[in-house]
Amino acid sequence: MAQKRYLFTPGPTPVPPEVLAALAEPVVHHRGPDYRAVFGECLERLRSVCRTTSDVLLFTCSGTGAMESAVANICSPGDRVVVVSAGAFGERWQKLAAAYGCEVDALSYTWGETPSPDDLAARLGELGGAKAVFLTHSETSTGVVADLQALAAAAKPSGALVVVDGVSSLGAVPLETDAWGIDVLASGSQKALMTPPGLGLAVVSPAAWGALGTSPRFYFDWEKTRSGQEKLDSAFTPAVSLVRALNVALGMLLEEGLEAAFDRHVRLGRACREGAKAMGLELFSPDEDRSAVVTAIRAPEGIDATELVLALRDRYGVSLVGAHGELKGKVFRIGHIGYYDVFDIATALGAVELALTDAGAEIERGVAVTRALEAFAAPARV
């Protein structure tokens, strides 16, 4: 029998059977009534999940496409922008803005640090403002979830548009687009939204609509997309099956309730961290409830994290991820967002325990899963 596979990566994430079933339905034409009903419901559900009354624009692309749409629509060549960067995805904002000819001022931190709202306010003060501030809510490369509310509040008085990468945070941790004054939120389908990769979304505030730039754009032109969506139409052929699947997944998330989903993610994060520590492993990501998306763990002395991840996949069918840049070989990451419960954490930790034992690491055996189950059972809100 083929080996059973487990997907514990921070994107793509496991997809519920109901969502997979929706993908298997016959393809319909995107200008017919069947699709329009699904499309309209999906856009409405996205507004609820993003906690916004603004337009949510849906694109056939991954999360980076939605991020690129933000730069292409609000920036003009030569605009000064500030990018807060503490990992691979902060660096992605820098590269995107530079590719569109922006004058990029990076507020850079060592990977794994948590960006400070005071530093951001000070930098904007020194610069005398910027067209936009680009933020990463959940820095998937390090496991840090930033205090987005405080960062957005620090940026607001400067008049800059606040543009957020919510690719791995949307649906997993609290994200109040309107209440926190976020002007643009970019995200994707394949993380906590429990849908396969292939859909990107951008929430655009009235302030952002009023500040569009002059960068060249065509497929990602927000006005084209908005004028299509207003009629429940699309400027280009949409990924009809993925939209149908996303609609089902969003329905499941809203049925659970966003607050309940956030609590579940907090407890999953706790379970993962407590289990890893019980084994004797050192966390790389912060040991705090807010960082509930992915747990980054240092490989024990003498163990190469990249080889550990390969052994987990090839020997046990368990997919985790290693790390990028300077952390490569030193850190591995367990994702716990979306269609995920504590038994997934138990499986991931059990497999890590086995693979580390195979590799000769000195770890505490037989305690991680018990500790994880206990940590998950404790109430999330204290």
What's the one-letter identity of residue 154?
A: A
Q: What is the dihedral of CA 334, 337, 338, 343, to 10 degrees?
A: 60
Smallest gap from Cβ 342 to ligand PLP, in A, equals: 23
Q: Which is nearer to ligand PLP, 300 or 322 (CB)?
A: 322
Give the interface size with ligand PLP as a residue count (CB under 6 A). Answer: 12
Extract the tokens encoding 353.
């325990």
Smallest gap from Cβ 163 to ligand PLP, in A, equals: 12
Q: Which is nearer to ligand PLP, 85 or 158 (CB)?
A: 85
Smallest gap from Cβ 202 to ligand PLP, in A, equals: 13
What does the DSSP assignment read for 135-195?
EESEETTTTEEP-HHHHHHHHGGGT-EEEEE-TTTTTTS---TTTTT-SEEEEETTSTT-S
Q: Tokens 């998937």 belong to which residue?
A: 140
Q: By the 8 A CB rule, do 163 and 184 touch? A: yes
Please tell me whether residue 85 binds ligand PLP under the rule CB under 6 A.
no
Q: Which is nearer to ligand PLP, 22 or 201 (CB)?
A: 201
Which residue of 11, 115, 143, 269 would you call a contact of ligand PLP, by CB under 6 A? Answer: 11
Q: Which is nearer to ligand PLP, 167 or 380 (CB)?
A: 167
Helix (H) or strand (E) holding 283: strand 282-283
Which residue of 8, 89, 220, 262 would you call a contact of ligand PLP, by CB under 6 A? Answer: 89
Residue 246, CA atoms < 13 Å, CB-side half-sphere: 34
Q: Which residues in the 55-74 window bind ligand PLP by CB under 6 A?
A: 62-64
Which residue of 112, 117, 174, 188 would you call a contact of ligand PLP, by CB under 6 A? Answer: 188
Please tell me whether residue 295 binds ligand PLP under the rule CB under 6 A.
no
Q: Which is nearer to ligand PLP, 275 or 335 (CB)?
A: 335
Count CB-CB contacts under 10 A for residue 235: 16
Smallest gap from Cβ 365 to ligand PLP, in A, equals: 32
Q: By the 8 A CB rule, do 6 and 318 touch? A: yes
Q: Which is nearer to ligand PLP, 202 or 303 (CB)?
A: 202
Residues 6+ apart with CB under 8 A from 44: none
Q: Which is nearer to ligand PLP, 19 or 167 (CB)?
A: 167
Smallest gap from Cβ 168 to ligand PLP, in A, equals: 4
Smallest gap from Cβ 366 to ligand PLP, in A, equals: 33
User: For residue 152, what are the CA distances in angstroms to 45, 179, 266?
Assistant: 24, 10, 22
Extract the tokens encoding 135.
């933020």
Distance CA 289, CA 145 (A): 9
Q: Which is nearer to ligand PLP, 134 or 316 (CB)?
A: 134
Nearest to 137 by CA among 110, 102, 168, 109: 168
Please tell me whether residue 116 binds ligand PLP under the rule CB under 6 A.
no
Q: Which residues in the 128-187 window bind ligand PLP by CB under 6 A?
A: 136, 138, 140, 165, 167-168
Q: Detail the DSSP E strand segments found in 98-231.
A: 103-108, 132-136, 138-139, 144-145, 161-165, 184-188, 199-204
Chain residues binding ligand PLP by CB under 6 A are 11, 62-64, 89, 136, 138, 140, 165, 167-168, 188
